[in-house]
């Protein structure tokens, strides 16, 4: 009987075999060897490219090398205030320091009498924060400096602060709240003092431009991993290795993919790790059923893509307005990897299926699509889909009309 399906396409799920990220792992190990933190880390790329998976893979490597690790995922609401971001960081720190005793204090509040042990809990860190004069950044620096004093006593080299979906953290001049500026200023300041607290941020391609626009020095503050699609041989490894033993022989309880099946999956996935896992999982399940029924084992590409359209693409497409959909359709029909606003403007003039856009409208809608996470702007000022293979989904929708 064949064993359980080995492929895992869930969001942030670590695949059975991590293909094509050896260089990134080696570079991260170098960052961990820094005596003074001169470089932090940005992991960026399209959705489905494996940012969160890589982040989770880095965590045990840091822990093995005697670093503490904390952090989670930023949400849009964290951008409301600097204090709220600070409280989030304190909560993350408390997760690893709450068992650390820092002294004793009298239960009665006097110098005599029974005493109780005092720990670096969230409440303790919050009291230090609130009792420190100055701006939110001054308060947070003070807490981090106190934390650093106990890190060597724990036998650790430093702390990695790792945050996913970091593109959602932005300054808001209207409300006079600058949480992104606070984060960058605080970490740059404490790192100059020799405190080994490393910042690791992951996010969509808009992340790095956001950081540079906020503080120009971030170009020197971060090493950037711009994750790309896997190369063809790496895709094939991601497909085949989960079905093999460590010595490269086929697992007896696993259905093996034929060379033709591997070719079809490689082509259909576009080299994106999430799609590789998704298509492999669906294909493996289909093979199990076909084998039980005595049918030929063929990859049901059309039905898999239809299911992928419904489960992955449709929800993102449905968020857009009709005019936004029209503009994205023009991009998809151009079959270009990226376009400038002027190129897109010209394309809309020649598309007889839509009402033409003005150049100002093109710019306005592109800005909205960036905010919705559907489009991103690269360093060359060109615009591309932030969702991988999204153009193909749009074109398939046109074919079905």
**Each residue of 286-343: pLDDT tens digit?**
999 888 777 788 889 999 999 999 999 999 999 999 999 999 999 999 989 899 999 9
Segment 96-104 mean pLDDT = 76
For residues 385 and 233, what is the distance between their CA atoms, to the nearest angstrom? Answer: 25
DSSP state of 310: I
- Does the pLDDT value for residue 110 go beyond 60? no
Per the CB < 8 A criterion, the answer to whether 304 and 31 are in contact is no
Instruction: Using CB atoms within 10 Å of the CB of residue 68, give its burial: 0 to 12 exposed, 13 to 18 middle, 19+ buried.
Output: buried
Which domains are present in the chain? 22-226 (3.40.50.300), 232-314 (no CATH), 319-400 (1.10.10.10)
Give the pLDDT score at 108: 38
- Does the pLDDT value for residue 193 go beyond 50? yes
Segment 157-162 mean pLDDT = 96
- Does the pLDDT value for residue 191 go beyond 80? yes
Which among 169, 180, 236 is positioned nearest to 204, based on CA atoms?
169
For residues 295 and 289, what is the distance between their CA atoms, to the nearest angstrom? Answer: 8
For residues 318 and 333, what is the distance between their CA atoms, to the nearest angstrom? Answer: 19
- Does the pLDDT value for residue 153 go beyond 50? yes
Look at the block and give the residue holding tokens 């300054």.
171
Per the CB < 8 A criterion, the answer to whether 253 and 5 are in contact is no
**Which of 75-89, 198-212, 231-245, 261-275 bottoms out in mean pLDDT, i.e. has the lowest?**
75-89
DSSP state of 257: P
Which among 260, 256, 259 is positioned nearest to 291, based on CA atoms?
256
Look at the block and give the residue holding tokens 């792992």.
25
- CA 10, 13, 18, 20 dihedral sign is positive
- Model confidence band, residue 352 (pLDDT cutoffs 50, 70, 90): confident
Give the pLDDT score at 106: 41
Give the pLDDT score at 222: 96
- Quick one: tokens of 280? 């492999």
Give the pLDDT score at 117: 76
- Does the pLDDT value for residue 86 go beyond 70? yes
Pairs from 133-137 (Cβ < 8 Å, separation ≥ 24): 136/82, 136/83, 136/86, 136/182, 137/82, 137/182, 137/185, 137/186, 137/189
Q: What is the pTM of this model?
A: 0.87
- Does the pLDDT value for residue 109 go beyond 50? no
């Amino acid at each position: 009987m064949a064993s359980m399906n080995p492929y895992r396409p869930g969001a942030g799920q670590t695949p059975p075999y991590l293909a094509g990220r050896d260089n990134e792992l080696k570079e991260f190990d170098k960052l961990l060897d820094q005596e003074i933190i001169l470089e932090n880390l940005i992991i960026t790329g399209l959705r489905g490219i494996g940012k969160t998976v890589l982040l989770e893979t880095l965590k045990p490597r840091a822990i093995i090398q005697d670093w503490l690790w904390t952090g989670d995922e930023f949400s849009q609401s964290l951008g409301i205030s600097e204090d709220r971001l600070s409280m989030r960081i304190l909560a993350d720190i408390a997760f690893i320091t709450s068992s650390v005793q820092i002294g004793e204090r009298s239960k009665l509040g006097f110098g005599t009498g029974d005493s109780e042990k005092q720990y670096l809990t969230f409440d303790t860190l919050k009291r230090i924060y609130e009792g420190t004069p100055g701006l939110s950044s001054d308060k947070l620096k003070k807490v981090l400096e106190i934390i650093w004093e106990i890190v060597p006593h724990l036998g650790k080299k430093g702390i990695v602060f790792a945050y996913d979906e970091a593109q959602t953290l932005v300054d808001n001049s209207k409300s006079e709240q600058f949480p992104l500026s606070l984060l960058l200023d605080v970490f740059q300041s404490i790192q100059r003092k020799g405190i080994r607290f490393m910042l690791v941020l992951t996010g969509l391609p808009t992340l790095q431009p956001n950081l540079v626009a906020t503080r120009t020095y971030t170009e020197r503050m971060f090493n950037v991993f711009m994750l790309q699609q896997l190369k063809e041989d790496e895709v094939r490894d991601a497909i085949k290795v989960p079905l093999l033993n460590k010595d490269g022989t086929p697992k007896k309880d696993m259905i093996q993919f034929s060379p033709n099946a591997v070719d079809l999956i490689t082509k259909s996935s576009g080299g994106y790790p999430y799609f590789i896992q998704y298509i492999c999982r669906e294909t493996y399940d289909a093979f199990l059923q076909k084998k039980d029924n005595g049918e030929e084992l063929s990859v049901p590409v059309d039905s898999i893509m239809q299911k992928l359209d419904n489960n992955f693409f449709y929800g993102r497409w449905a968020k857009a307005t009709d005019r936004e959909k029209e503009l994205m359709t023009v991009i998809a029909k151009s079959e270009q990897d990226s376009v400038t606003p002027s190129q897109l403007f010209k394309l809309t003039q020649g598309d007889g299926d839509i009402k033409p856009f003005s150049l100002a409208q093109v710019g306005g809608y592109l800005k909205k699509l960036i905010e919705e996470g559907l489009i991103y702007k690269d360093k060359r000022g060109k615009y591309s889909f932030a969702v991988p293979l999204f153009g193909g989904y749009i074109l398939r929708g046109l074919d079905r009309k």
